[in-house]
Structure 1
């Protein structure tokens, strides 16, 4: 028995066709041309164990590098949803990474980032002034409203803290934004205000009041039931459904009656080559999911007839054509495919309007500031 804990293991034969060493000899004594032979004085070849150790070391190094990239550069804890105003009843969340990979967004919206007055590209100047590499540092955008009149957009990601407002004030002066001024921690302009929360979240609102309401972090977002996964997710509370019912009751009384029977709704739009919309509805107290699903399917059918005589908007006609409403437990689920070409047309139109609004607005770049 050997004096080690593990007896030596005989080498495994890899090529069973190789000739065996001559009787009485070994590989070390064989000539350089003999199978397995080695010339006297030549360096020993590394064993299989050395190769395995080298491969293992490479794998550990790669895994460590991947973890470092994830934790220090890519990992992001969502912060934007923490700044949804407490009385919000409509909220939409955009996953920036998935949107940036969607062809129509890249084609129609990303060029807007570099459109600016003569000089260095706007993206480079914004990064120099604020530390924000847009859109690379952006992870999410949340849009919320309390009454469908005042709106706020919240941007979260790897955003330097405490620099954005001052940096954009500098950009505003350089580009000559008319009507913009600094008010405390906010940059205020015509029909808009910009702020930054302590955790770095950017806050852009239609008025000073809603921006100030969104700056403190809270857990109010939890009551909204906003889905956390998906390129585009959204949620509407009972108050939003009731308000929508009042707004359309004169022209679409059937839809208004259905809206009043809804307590909550939330949905997800997945993008890619075959976009899909899934919308889940919670019936109001006393309403049965099966009955609400049946009435929702009937309403979808009537909307198809109504929209048949009007121009299509973003592929809505095709989406309605394939929409199905079914009861699943105590919820109603509406699902449909959304045509890719419709979303492409919508992105092109929205980009055109954004460009026109920017150029025509009182705060658009112009002489003086």
Structure 2
């Protein structure tokens, strides 16, 4: 008897040998109706087409790293330019004389961006570049002192001790220990009259009637700050660095800032008392003041008064507002100076804490007229000096 009985009624199913891994057909299923992966015997199983390769991740990562490296390089270059070429730590304010009572600080970079300054003063530099004699002098000054004017200057501080002796302090990227010696060389080469070297100072004399006295005294501090004054005493007092500017409460930021001590207010009181007694009395009630003039399309003046001992801020504010009203009437019949008349019209004095705040808008047109007038004065003075210098050489 055979081991396996096969019923005749049931057909024998073919064995799939082409693809051993193919799943067996479902019981009772028709091979013609099987899916692509379940075809019947004698048919090759169709494989699905291969998926397209994905973009290579290593290439994208490399591009990202390259972009980050480029940004880091640009940032490093920008920081290098800032720290080594543009960044400047203010030094001029450190050389304000210890007994100064009037201080004005000018930030040259912000001033150069102000419209009236660009319009009226920058053309003077262009003209000097086209004038052979001026260009030659500028080149000699730069070669002798190492100072590229005006790009190397960042701040100028003007101070006075008694409204008679004045000093101008110039700070910036200025080479140290070169300015005085360089100016001495220029003076010798150009044949200046009435100058002499006295220690670390260069003194230029002028004649006033029968008297001969210093017209300018030039020095340079250890940190490079240039000191230009009206006499030896104030220049010598400004050469050492100090923290005097902090005592004056001089604002640190702003294109134009200023500070006045009680001595300055007392001196001003003595001058104006004969004309405006109310102003003289009020000035004596002020201990010190500081403020700033902001520039731009709408310039504005902000000033703070510190009352003298025993004075209340509210009372001082009320009297200050009354004085502003009197000044409006006085300026109404006087020629306008740099827009001061319109500035007085909108000035307001209010008590804020223990101080008095004065605020007003300063007319742009007034500052424009003032810059134009000053530029013309500088132009005339420069031409007169050059003509006087050229006159002896032109004489037969």
TM-score interval, smaller chain:
0.7 to 0.9
Equivalent residue number for residue 265 of structure 2: 241
Indicate which of 290, 300, 308 corresponds to 1:276. Answer: 300
Contact 1:178/1:365 (<8 A) preserved: no
Contact 1:176/1:365 (<8 A) preserved: no
Q: Where does the alignment leave 5 or more consecutive residues of structure 1 unmatched?
A: 1-21, 29-35, 38-43
Query: Quick check: 1:155 aligned with 2:180?
Result: no
Using structure 2 for the length normalisation, give the TM-score: 0.79
SS at 1:336's partner residue?
A: strand
Mapped to 2, the partners of 1:308 and 1:264 lie a distance apart of 28
- CA RMSD of superposed structures (Å): 2.3
Using structure 1 for the length normalisation, give the TM-score: 0.84
1:236 and 1:97, CA in 2 relative to 1: closer, same or farther beyond 3 A?
Answer: same
Paired residues for 1:101-140 under 5 Å: 101-113=113-125, 115=128, 118=133, 120-140=135-155
Paired residues for 1:58-69 under 5 Å: 58-69=70-81
Indicate which of 34, 38, 50 corresponds to 2:62. Answer: 50
1:230 and 1:363, CA in 2 relative to 1: closer, same or farther beyond 3 A?
Answer: farther
More off after superposition, 263-272 vs 174-183: 174-183
Deviation of residue 138 (structure 1)?
0.8
SS at 1:118's partner residue?
A: helix
Indicate which of 45, 50, 55 corresponds to 1:25. Answer: 50
Deviation of residue 331 (structure 1)?
0.9
Equivalent residue number for residue 344 of structure 1: 368
Deviating beyond 6 angstroms after TM superposition, the runs of 4 or more aligned structure 1 residues are: 361-364
Q: Where does the alignment leave 5 or more consecutive residues of structure 2 unmatched?
A: 1-46, 207-214
More off after superposition, 235-244 vs 120-129: 120-129
Contact 1:226/1:234 (<8 A) preserved: yes
Equivalent residue number for residue 280 of structure 2: 256
Equivalent residue number for residue 91 of structure 1: 103
Mapped to 2, the partners of 1:326 and 1:102 lie a distance apart of 29
Equivalent residue number for residue 33 of structure 1: none
Query: Quick check: 1:314 aligned with 2:326?
Result: no
Mapped to 2, the partners of 1:253 and 1:364 lie a distance apart of 46
SS at 1:279's partner residue?
A: strand
SS at 2:133's partner residue?
A: coil
More off after superposition, 104-113 vs 210-219: 104-113
